[in-house]
Structure 1
Amino acid sequence: MDAATMNISEEVRTLGARIEAFVRDKIVPYERDPRRDHHGAPTDELVAELKALGRTEGLLTPHVKADGSHRTQVETAYLLIRSGLSPLGPYGCNTSAPDEGNMYLLGHVGSDAIKERFLRPLLAGEARSAFLMTEPADWQGAGSDPSMMKTTCRRAEDGSGDWIVDGRKTFITGFAGAKVGIVMAKAEEGACMFLVDLPDPAIRIDEVPNTIDSSMPGGHATLTIDGLRVPASQMLGEAGEGFKYAQIRLSPARLSHCMRWLGACIRAHEIATDYACRRLAFGKQLIEHEGVGFMLAENRIDLKQAELMIYWCAQVLDTGDLGTVESSMAKVAVSEALMRIADRCVQVMGGIGVTERTIVEQVFREIRAFRIYDGPTEVHKWSLAKKIRREWREAQEA
């Protein structure tokens, strides 16, 4: 399977070519821009400038059509891989996490009022968003297991119909500076989701730690939610359906991460290849030394396998299946393959590979974090193992 054999229209192919040229020509020069926050992520000022470039080029939010409908996952993959050729590319194209996943969720579940108030600014690149689900493990909260969620929501006692939310959240990507929040909490009916305007005085930032990754504005905040009041009209869907909505978001968003970071590793491999072909060592080009040449060959294999896994999972999602099993498989296979690629790129480049002279060092750090967020590799393997056992039992009983 190759992108050329997929059901991708000429319109999307042309759009993908424009995105690739835009990222390489217009966005890459910004990789040395000094406008960064305390942990190295681009500031909102820089993000706004990058989005303005994308808007001028007509390339903002390319994964959503003019009528507001989302492109297929296969088409999205074709575009997001190219937007990821620079860590800054997703901001210039408005395809970054967590916004892209939140757009998908609101586009599929949100009411007309919610779409107008909360989704429209995201699609236009006028606001950033945050998805408040994960909870601190040291609080005996959800961590990677949302069924353990401790954040609660209850109806206000004044008869207004409003909801009151209390709890804690952690590793909330992009919260600092976000204008739209999706808050997940547990009621008597089950899990619920709410849309809120940010900032809100009832949501306090306790900490924004420095982390190994540095590509996401706002960092990964730990929050305390104390008496957050939300009108009933800002509940997403129905009470008790939050876990179902989470799956609607998480499976495609998990795959979107794979798409963007594949683009980054393609670029890192290009940089490492260029270095190995130019660098002379022990009387010949570095790539002519078997140890180096083999690493680049292994990169080429892993890149292709990652691409195939992404498109295969995208096809499953396009059938209307939630694709939880397939997206778990893709998350494991792609994140681990990309980690090998990034590591080899650093190794091929030697001392240069661990400096800020190229993006290779940053891509290595970002991919290392990618193996954890949106579900660590081990969580997805555990989930797959449970399915294997369940299938075995069903076969025995048949």
Structure 2
Amino acid sequence: MLPLEKVIFMISKDLLREVANNQKSDLQRNASVLERSEIKDLPLLRSHALIISGIRRCGKSTLLVQLLKESFPEAFYLNFEDPRLYGFEVVDFQKIDKIIEEYEVKDIFFDEVQVVEGWERYVRQKLDQGDFQMVITGSNASLLSRELGTKLTGRHVTRELFPFSFAQFCAFSELKMSSESTLDYLSLGGFPEYLKSRKQELLHQFLDDLLLRDIAVRYGVRDIKSLQNLAVYLISNVAKSVSGNNLRKTLEIKATSTIMEYFSYLEESWLFFFVPKFSYSQRKQLINAKKVYAIDTGLVTANSRSFSEDLGRRFENMVFLHFRRLYPEIYYFTEKGECDLVVFDRNGLVELVQVCYELNPDNLKRELNGLWEAMKYFDKKEAILVTLSQEDEFEKDGYRIKVVPFHSLA
């Protein structure tokens, strides 16, 4: 007779089939009404797995529904975070094989599969068999890691998914892109579910759930209160420089290494981005303080404990997210002055970006000087300064700065 604990966690083929059918019906019924434009750029190759990663509730389910409706109506779909699948192990993929044989399908969609240790072996096996379309989605950035590339022997393409962009927010809210709608977006952010209800308690609960489920449970964090305090501190201080050593003292956490571990957990869960100071030295990038940005300005609005509105820093966070959607490699630059965003693609420097909510006589010189300095350092002849609503141009020594309103970037 099998030990009792083994019997409890055995998953039958009939249960897997029932769960998969129920989940697919629920997915198609509950998805957002706004289609995601990102579907146009998804590379679907039967020789490679498509991996889509992004924070919870950002619209991955809607994207899957679009794919199912438009291209793969008969696909097998399974979300591994269903409580009925607790205890699912690698050997249980054999039962999935039998189900897809019965259904005679070659298209497989897995959601949150990273909770199953060793899942990569099964995906690689299906790719090796040939003629299978594998689509993987999840809410942990480990799905985009270099280690994954090794495990799948390079046979995958990856895409990131964010909450609504400004253009998508305006389409969803039926607003024209303008300075006024920019302020709405700055306040509300881009989580589709929240935009439907406008109830801030959803964003409060979302943050709590993410810290508990995606971090504390997944990584075995015992000091949950310190993790929560750190997350709220970072949300209240977006667009500021942070370091593990300083926060250890501020938050009274015993070890700097603990802070750094929490940073990595928060980043892998897509809640924050930690942007390094630009340096040609990898070592200096690692030791210098990083600027922190949150995944969504609505999440900041709802959960920040800052006593002022901090429009300038939230505005910078919003501009950062615009460029981060387009380019994964961003730094800040600081010497005598500071340039907020130094944006790279695979071919090199793309853009130097300064961010200022509103230019005025008190800040104009500081904002321009920081950007001039970066332009000369990188020998970049043109750069942009993003504001809420102002437009202007400045030239000096053959360098030109163009002042543009945020909505013109969309």
The question of a shared fold, defined as TM-score above 0.5 by the shorter chain, is answered with no
Q: Relative contact order: is structure 1 or structure 2 higher (C-alpha 8 Å, sep ≥ 6)?
A: 1
TM-score by length of 2: 0.24
